Structure 1
């Protein structure tokens, strides 16, 4: 079982942006994590979208003590178990099921479950989750949808992810029910391929400066 004292809110409130990271080569994992940490971003969501993802999480967990590595695209209890074994300390999902929620609790992983409708928010709340991912944010109604949810779901905070970048992140972060946003723009594919860690550190610094 993963040992962690984190809560989902602590993950969400650590910085204005949680980077959504897709890694195909474990050699990039540690220098990337160090570059993001140098820019002030510690919560790192490594998505389970590649065969190398678990090895990348493991490398970051072992070698970059300042980073808090999490698993993204967690869709099943088996994903949660594998992520915890690899050293993940939180989990992010594109959706939610009660079985996934239970598995993450069993593994000691704070979970940001994905929601896109009022019914999905209510289902997550029934299982005790009130710090949620809003995904895909722009496609599911964007900032206007989050404003509409402030009334009926005033006790919920969100991490909107999907279609968010430096041009619209501040619009989401200005909302009282948004704790942070998720985005892939902190790790551009060309910067990663070229090992341009200085550029990634600068993007992280700019992201930290978005805090309202």
Structure 2
């Protein structure tokens, strides 16, 4: 087993814990713990904190302390991003795409990684490097469910976490695909509810999302 494969195995384990990975944009570190606790209580333990705000690294550090949760860093683009995320305590990484430099950095750091791909060629390049679990991004803009069906025919050995444009109305159609293990979504933690500290409402959204993909 290669080291790359071992990290993809860990990414698969995390992706299998719940049907939805919350994609979080958090501006205030004071919101980190109660937000993470609400999402975990609601049944969504794997949390992607995007590196899009000045507070993101501190947020990851706080969320990593929440029992039963797994805090990861999203929007990893450079080796410096990886180093900062690992220092903050990120337990996994997510990227919108993949470069050799980025993958070299995550592999050197031993960080489980969900690298992004939008085309068959990108997916094949990642597979050749040992990543058989990938983020399909931006999902809706890249052809949505139809694209995943098309890629899944010749590349059934790749499993995806589609992210980008996923919402309660279309999530089920993605999760019903045989090559989809989970999906990333931001609707479970909207900014207005975070700002207002409405953790019970976020927990309810998480609980509903945690039931997606289940037999009716």
Shift in Å, 1:6 = 7.0
- For structure 1, the 5+ residue unaligned runs are none
Query: Who is 2:119 aligned against?
Result: 117
Counterpart of 2:143 (choices 123, 135, 141) is 141
Q: Is the 8 A contact 1:15 1:211 kept in 2?
A: no
Question: How far, CA to CA, are the matches of 1:195 and 1:138 in structure 2?
Answer: 30
Aligned pairs for 1:81-96 (under 5 A) are: 81-96=83-98
**Alignment partner, residue 58 of structure 1:** 61
Gap change, CA 1:60 and 1:5, over 3 Å in 2: farther
Conserved in 2, the CA contact under 8 Å of 1:98 and 1:127? no
- 2:207 alignment partner, one of 194, 205, 208: 205
2:33 paired residue among 12, 30, 33: 30
Q: How far apart are the structure 2 equivalents of 1:73 and 1:20?
A: 10
- What is residue 74 of structure 2 aligned with on the other side? 72
8 Å contact kept, 1:101–1:127: no
| Correspondence list, 1:36-51, <5 A | 36-51=39-54
Q: Distance in 1 between matches of 2:45 and 2:107?
A: 22
Native 8 Å contact 1:75 1:100 kept in 2: yes
The alignment partner of 1:7 has SS state of helix
Matched residues in 1 for 2:158 and 2:9: separation?
18
* TM-score for both structures, normalised by structure 2: 0.93
Cα displacement (A) at 1:121: 0.7
Structure 2: distance between partners of 1:143 and 1:158: 11
Secondary structure of the residue aligned to 2:76 is coil
Displacement after TM superposition at 1:125 (Å): 1.3
Match of residue 161 from structure 1: 163
Q: Counterparts of 2:32 and 2:8 in 1: how far apart (Å)?
A: 24
Matched residues, number: 208
Aligned-residue offset at 1:211: 2.6
- CA displacement at 1:107 relative to structure 2: 1.5
Using the alignment, how far apart are the partners of 2:74 and 2:26 within structure 1?
12
> Is this contact kept in 1: 2:8–2:113, CA < 8 A?
no
Alignment partner of 2:33: what SS?
Answer: helix
TM-fit CA distance, 1:65: 2.3
Distance, in Å, in 2 between the alignment partners of 1:140 and 1:5 is 23
1:12 CA drift (Å): 1.0
2:103 matched residue in structure 1: 101
Please, which runs of 5 or more residues in structure 2 have no aligned partner?
1-6
Cα distance per residue 1:110-148 (max 9 Å; x no partner): 111111011111111121111000000001000000011
